[in-house]
C-alpha cells in the first residue's frame, strides 16, 4: 500500500496539542500529513505546512486586520473561505488524499466550509462538539463524516485520546480504501418521489440495460441539491429529471425546497437532459398540525403521519410553468421537456385526491407559451407520468441523445 497524504485543517493556536496528537498517529500508520493552519489569535503550537497568514490572505483578509478587528464571526468567515480556496488549490495539484478537521463550532465551520467544496468521494472527517445536533449546515449535500467528540476538543484526556485515535484510524482507513469498482459505467442522474416511483423505476431499468449506471435522487430538497452538485462536479453524463417537485416548495413555502438554483446545473453543463413535471401537484409539509394556518382550507392529503401534501393551485401551476420554462431555456445541451397530459403524479390521476385538470392545464399552457422551442423540444404524451409508455418515451429520448453525444 502506498503512503497517503492527509490534509489537516485547524487552528494551531488553540488546538495545536490535539492536532499534533492526530498528526503523530497518522504518521505512525505510514502516511503523510499536510497541516493547514487557520488560527487567528495566537502563535501555532507547531510549524504548519501552510501558515495562517496564507489562509487569511486566501480568504480576502490579513491576519493583522483580523486580530485588530477582534470579530470572531468575521474571522471564521475569512478563514473558512481561505481554507476552502487553499484546499481546492492543493486538490488540483494532487497534494492530498483525504481531509480531516476538528473543533467546536468555529473549527467545525472552517473545516466544513473547505470540505463542502471538495468532490464527492474524497474522504472527509470532522471531529466536532456539534456532531450530536443538527449537522445539516456542516454536511450540506457532501459526503462529510462527522464524529461526536463527546468532550470538548480542549486538551488531551482519557476520553479525547480515544476519540481522536479512532478518528485518526478512520481517516487513514478511508484514504487507504479503494472503491473497487469493477467497471466505470457512464452515470445518469434521475429524480424520484414516492408518487413517481413507477416511472423512475422503469426509466432506470431501460437506462441500465443500455449500459449506464443510474443515480436516483429523492426529491426532498437535499436530494435535488445533491444531484445539482454532482452534475456541476462533472460526474454525470445525462439526466432524467422526472420529478421537479422541489420547485413547488421553493415557490409556495414548503419544507422540501432545493433552492432557486434547481435545474441550473444540467443546463449549464450542456449534458443531455429529459425533464418532466413529476409531483408538481404538491407542496410538502410535516404532520397535519404543522401546516401553516393560511393553508388549512386547501386540498390537503396525509401521505403518512409525518408528511402532509397540499395540492398546488391554478395560479401556482401557471407560475411553476413560467419558472421551469425559464430554467430550461438556458440549456446549452440537448433538452426535451415531457408533459404527461394524464397527470403529473400517482395521486393526480383521474379519480385520485389531487386530480385537477384545470390546475394541470395552467401548468401546461404556461410551458407551451414560455418555452424557447429552438432550445427545448416539447413532447406531449396522453398518459399519466407513471404510465409505462411515458417512461419509455423519456428513456428512449435520453438514450438517443447520449448515443449521439458519445
Q: Which strands, in side-by-side order, build the sheet including 300-304? A: 282-285, 307-311, 300-304
pTM for the structure as a whole:
0.84
54 near 146, Cβ under 8 Å? Answer: no
Query: pLDDT digit string (tens) for 90-122?
Result: 999 999 999 999 999 999 999 999 999 999 999
Give the number of other CB atoms < 10 A from CB of residue 391: 27
pLDDT at 317: 98
Please state, in angstroms and rounded to a whole number, the distance separating the CA atoms of residues 219 and 190.
9
Which residues lie closer than 8 Å to 294 by C-beta, 6 or more apart? none
Query: Which cell goes with 378?
Result: 416539447
Please state, in angstroms and rounded to a whole number, the distance separating the CA atoms of residues 85 and 36.
12
Please state, in angstroms and rounded to a whole number, the distance separating the CA atoms of residues 262 and 217.
13
Residue with cell 441539491: 225
Please state, in angstroms and rounded to a whole number, the distance separating the CA atoms of residues 107 and 9.
9
pLDDT in tens, the chain (406 residues): 789 999 999 999 999 999 999 999 999 999 999 999 999 999 999 999 999 999 999 999 999 999 999 999 999 999 999 999 999 999 999 999 999 999 999 999 999 999 999 999 999 999 999 999 999 999 999 999 999 999 999 999 999 999 999 999 999 999 999 866 556 899 999 999 999 999 999 999 999 999 999 999 999 999 999 999 999 989 999 999 999 999 999 999 999 999 999 999 999 999 999 999 999 999 999 999 999 999 999 999 999 899 999 999 999 999 999 999 999 999 999 999 999 999 999 999 999 999 999 999 999 999 999 999 999 999 999 999 999 999 999 999 999 999 998 7
CATH superfamily, domain 187-405, is Uncharacterised protein family UPF0261, NC domain (3.40.50.12030)
What does residue 288 show for φ and ψ, rounded to 5 degrees?
-50, -40
3-state DSSP of 47-61: CCCECHHHHHHHCCC
Please state, in angstroms and rounded to a whole number, the distance separating the CA atoms of residues 218 and 225.
10
Strand partners, 286: none
User: Please, how many CA atoms are within 13 Å of residue 288, restricted to the half-sphere of its CB?
Assistant: 10
pLDDT at 178: 80
Q: Same CATH fold, 187-405 and 5-176?
A: yes
Please give the torsion angle defined by the CA atoms of residues 238, 243, 249 and 250, in that order, rounded to the nearest 10 degrees: 20
Please state, in angstroms and rounded to a whole number, the distance separating the CA atoms of residues 229 and 117.
10
3-state DSSP of the chain: CCCCEEEEEECCCCCHHHHHHHHHHHHHCCCEEEEEECCCCCCCCCCCCECHHHHHHHCCCCHHHHHHHCCHHHHHHHHHHHHHHHHHHHHHCCCCCEEEEEECHHHHHHHHHHHCCCCCCCCEEEEECCCCCCCHHHHCCCCCEEEECCCCCCCCCHHHHHHHHHHHHHHHHHHHCCCCCCCCCCEEEEEECHHHHHHHHHHHHHHHHCCCEEEEEECCCHHHHHHHHHHHCCCCCEEEECCCCHHHHHHHCCCCCCCCCCCCHHHHHCCCEEECCCCCCEEEECCHHHCCHHHCCCCEEEEECCEEEEECCHHHHHHHHHHHHHHHHCCCCCEEEEEECCCCCHHHCCCCCCCCHHHHHHHHHHHHHHCCCCCCEEEEECCCCCCHHHHHHHHHHHHHHHHHHC
Query: pLDDT digit string (tens) for 146-175?
Result: 999 999 999 999 999 999 999 999 999 999
pLDDT at 183: 67
Residue-range domain boundaries for the chain: 5-176, 187-405
Instruction: Report the candidate in 148, 26, 183 with the shortest Cα–Cα distance to residue 96.
Output: 26
Please state, in angstroms and rounded to a whole number, the distance separating the CA atoms of residues 98 and 34.
10
Instruction: Report the candidate in 314, 332, 317 with the shortest Cα–Cα distance to residue 370.
Output: 317
Query: Which cell goes with 50?
Result: 501552510
CATH number corresponding to 5-176: 3.40.50.12020
pLDDT at 1: 72
Instruction: Report the candidate in 290, 291, 309, 277 with the shortest Cα–Cα distance to residue 380.
Output: 277
Amino acid at each position: 500500500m502506498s503512503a497517503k497524504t492527509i490534509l489537516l485543517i485547524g487552528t494551531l493556536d488553540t488546538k495545536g496539542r490535539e492536532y499534533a496528537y492526530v498528526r503523530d498517529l497518522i504518521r505512525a500508520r505510514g502516511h503523510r500529513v499536510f497541516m493547514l493552519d487557520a488560527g487567528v489569535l495566537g502563535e501555532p503550537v507547531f510549524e504548519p505546512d501552510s501558515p495562517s497568514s496564507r489562509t487569511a490572505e486566501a480568504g480576502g483578509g490579513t491576519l493583522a486586520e483580523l486580530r485588530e478587528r477582534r470579530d470572531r464571526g468575521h474571522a471564521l468567515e475569512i478563514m473558512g473561505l481561505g481554507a476552502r480556496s487553499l484546499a481546492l488549490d492543493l486538490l488540483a495539484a494532487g497534494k492530498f488524499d483525504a481531509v480531516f478537521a476538528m473543533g467546536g463550532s468555529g473549527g467545525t465551520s472552517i473545516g466544513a466550509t473547505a470540505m463542502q467544496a471538495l468532490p464527492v468521494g474524497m474522504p472527509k472527517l470532522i471531529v466536532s462538539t456539534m456532531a450530536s445536533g443538527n449537522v445539516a449546515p456542516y454536511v450540506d449535500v457532501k459526503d462529510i463524516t462527522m464524529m461526536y467528540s463527546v468532550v470538548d476538543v480542549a486538551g488531551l484526556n482519557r476520553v479525547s485520546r480515544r476519540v481522536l485515535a479512532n478518528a485518526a484510524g478512520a481517516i487513514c482507513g478511508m484514504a487507504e480504501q479503494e472503491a473497487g469498482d469493477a467497471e466505470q459505467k457512464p452515470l445518469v442522474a434521475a429524480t424520484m418521489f414516492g408518487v413517481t416511483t413507477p416511472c423512475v423505476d422503469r426509466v432506470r431499468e431501460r437506462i441500465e440495460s443500455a449500459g449506464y449506471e443510474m443515480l436516483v435522487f429523492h426529491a426532498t430538497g437535499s436530494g435535488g441539491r445533491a444531484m445539482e452538485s454532482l452534475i456541476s462536479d462533472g460526474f454525470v453524463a445525462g439526466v432524467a429529471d422526472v420529478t421537479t417537485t422541489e420547485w413547488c416548495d421553493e415557490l409556495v413555502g414548503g419544507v422540501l425546497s432545493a433552492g432557486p438554483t434547481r435545474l441550473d446545473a444540467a443546463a449549464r453543463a450542456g449534458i443531455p437532459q429529459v425533464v418532466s413535471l413529476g409531483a408538481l401537484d404538491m407542496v410538502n409539509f410535516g404532520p397535519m398540525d404543522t401546516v401553516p394556518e393560511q393553508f388549512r382550507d386547501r386540498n390537503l392529503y396525509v401521505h403518512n403521519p409525518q408528511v402532509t401534501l397540499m395540492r398546488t393551485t391554478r395560479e401556482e401551476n401557471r407560475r411553476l410553468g413560467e419558472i421551469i420554462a425559464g430554467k430550461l431555456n438556458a440549456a446549452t445541451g440537448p433538452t426535451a421537456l415531457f408533459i404527461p397530459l394524464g397527470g403529473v403524479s400517482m395521486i393526480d390521476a383521474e379519480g385520485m385526491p389531487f386530480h385537477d385538470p384545470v390546475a394541470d392545464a395552467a401548468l401546461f399552457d404556461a410551458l407551451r407559451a414560455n418555452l424557447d422551442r429552438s432550445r427545448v423540444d416539447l413532447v406531449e404524451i396522453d398518459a399519466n407520468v407513471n404510465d409505462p409508455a411515458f417512461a419509455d418515451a423519456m428513456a428512449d429520448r435520453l438514450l438517443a441523445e447520449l448515443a449521439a453525444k458519445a
